[in-house]
Homo-oligomer: A and B are copies of this chain.
Amino acid sequence: MFHEKAIMPKGYTCASINCGLKKDGAEDLSVIYSEKTASAAAVFTKNQVPGAPVIVGREIIAKGKLQALVINSKVSNVGTGEQGVQNARRMGAAVAKEFGCSADEVLMSSTGVIAVQLPIEKVEAGVVGIKDKMNNDPLVAAKGIMTTDTHPKAYSVNVGDAVITLIAKGSGMIEPNMATMLAYCLTDADIEPQVLDQMLRKAVNKSFNMLSIDTDTSTSDTVVIMANGLAGKVDESAFQEALDQLSIKMTETMARDGEGATKLIRTEITGAVNYDEARVYAKSMINSPLIKTMAFGADPNIGRILMALGKCFENTFDLDKLTLSINDTLIYKDAGKVDYDEPELRKTISGDPVVFQIDLGLGDGSATTYGCDLTHGYVDENAAYYSS
């Protein structure tokens, strides 16, 4: 259902440049612009130390309208006090001036190091003249927002005549409630802000909020959707379905590109007494270091799965009704290990993805979570990350 290569919906352009934040000359500043003011909605981190752009962004999104997005990487503008808030506003104002639009309709994001002031003069200087660099490739915008991502991320899907394009970054400090995860969804469909907001929340709860790279919830997580209406009305349920699938696709891509990750892990819980318990089980699995290292080691360890389920102390559980499969190979049933072709299973889980299929046999609750393996690479990246 996805385009082979992401495209921009009607009326949107983007650019990314190096404005001097990243010393190696890599892109560190992206702008996305819609020729027509768009309906808009956003979801932000629940972290109690939100970044300045999140504080200002909540204010801006309240009106449900956006015309431009500006995002820098390298410095997250978090824990930077009143000066940080002023700098976030200056970032939006610079873009408004460049494009001749209202500063009330420019949402800004920042990602990178925490507790360092944003060199706002560099950002402002970088924005001057960026209007002449705008083009139609979503991957260009995706490049400027990367931190530890190994590749830029953008996908597109059609809903009738409209296109939805999702541009995002991962890859560490990522759990529920958003993550150092920035995702920008652009569409030319015509949808009211309130409806857009509900649709976004539904999609996010099935996708980004079910992602965990490392249980750590960033202070900057942001998902924004803009709908400029240039392609007219669309069927709402088809749009929701497309948005859900696009968000899940991006979630899987982020998981696979998690810090140090070599593969995607998906945990599919079914048969829980209700959705809430299914979600707790699915999260316990995806967050367990012993599950993550076993996926890295390609080791079908039943004991660790029992442990990860059993440590959900408040949930309903019955060992006798439990059925476990990994990558469609049944390994545990009727309270006992099943005979299976172990070398064959080891072979499939040495690849990507590793999918845990867990049926609790108790009810209709189901939930799926997305994550990645825990490797030396994660330790390397995070023991050495620039901090001050």
Of chain B, the residue at the smallest CB distance from A292 is: B382
A79 interface neighbour in B177, B315, B319, B378, Cβ under 8 Å: B319
Distance, CA A172 to CA B301, complexed state (A): 15
Indicate if A388 sits at the interface (CB-CB under 8 A): yes
Indicate if A161 sits at the interface (CB-CB under 8 A): no
Query: A79: which B residues are within 8 A, CB to CB?
Result: 302-303, 306, 319, 335
Those of A302-316 within 8 Å (CB) of chain B: 302-304, 306-313, 315
A311 touches B47 (CB 8 A): yes
Query: A50: which B residues are within 8 A, CB to CB?
Result: 310
B307 touches A114 (CB 8 A): yes
Distance, CA A115 to CA B304, complexed state (A): 9
Instruction: Evaluate whether A47 and B307 lie within 8 angstroms (CB atoms) in the complex, with A172-B290, A375-B379, A385-B301 already known.
Output: yes
The A interface is mostly helix, strand or loop, or mixed, namely: loop
- Mark each residue of chain A from 288 to 299: 1 if its CB lies under 8 Å from any CB of chain B, else 0: 111001101101
Query: Which of A66-74, A119-127, A216-224, A244-252 is near enough to bind chain B?
Result: A216-224
B76 touches A379 (CB 8 A): no
A383 interface neighbour in B114, B175, B293, B302, Cβ under 8 Å: B293
A387 interface neighbour in B177, B299, B307, Cβ under 8 Å: B299
Distance, CA A337 to CA B84, complexed state (A): 14
Indicate if A140 sits at the interface (CB-CB under 8 A): no
Indicate if A203 sits at the interface (CB-CB under 8 A): no
Indicate if A28 sits at the interface (CB-CB under 8 A): no
Distance, CA A317 to CA B379, complexed state (A): 29
Number of copies of this chain that the complex holds: 2
B319 touches A46 (CB 8 A): no
A307 touches B383 (CB 8 A): no
Indicate if A195 sits at the interface (CB-CB under 8 A): no
Indicate if A355 sits at the interface (CB-CB under 8 A): no
Of chain B, the residue at the smallest CB distance from A332 is: B115
Distance, CA A315 to CA B215, complexed state (A): 17
CB distance from A333 to the nearest CB of B (A): 12
Distance, CA A385 to CA B302, complexed state (A): 12
A216 interface neighbour in B289, B376, B378, Cβ under 8 Å: B289
Indicate if A374 sits at the interface (CB-CB under 8 A): yes
Measuring CB to CB, which residues of chain A are less than 8 angstroms from any residue of chain B? 46-50, 76, 78-79, 81, 113-115, 172-173, 175, 177, 214-219, 287-290, 293-294, 296-297, 299-304, 306-313, 315, 317, 319, 332, 335-337, 342, 374-376, 378-380, 382-385, 387-388
A299-B383, A342-B388 known; 4 new pairs, CB 8 Å cut-off, are: A114-B302, A217-B310, A290-B382, A374-B379
Q: 15 A-B pairs, CB-CB below 8 angstroms?
A: A47-B307, A48-B310, A48-B313, A48-B315, A49-B306, A114-B301, A114-B304, A214-B290, A216-B304, A216-B307, A218-B307, A290-B382, A293-B382, A300-B388, A374-B379
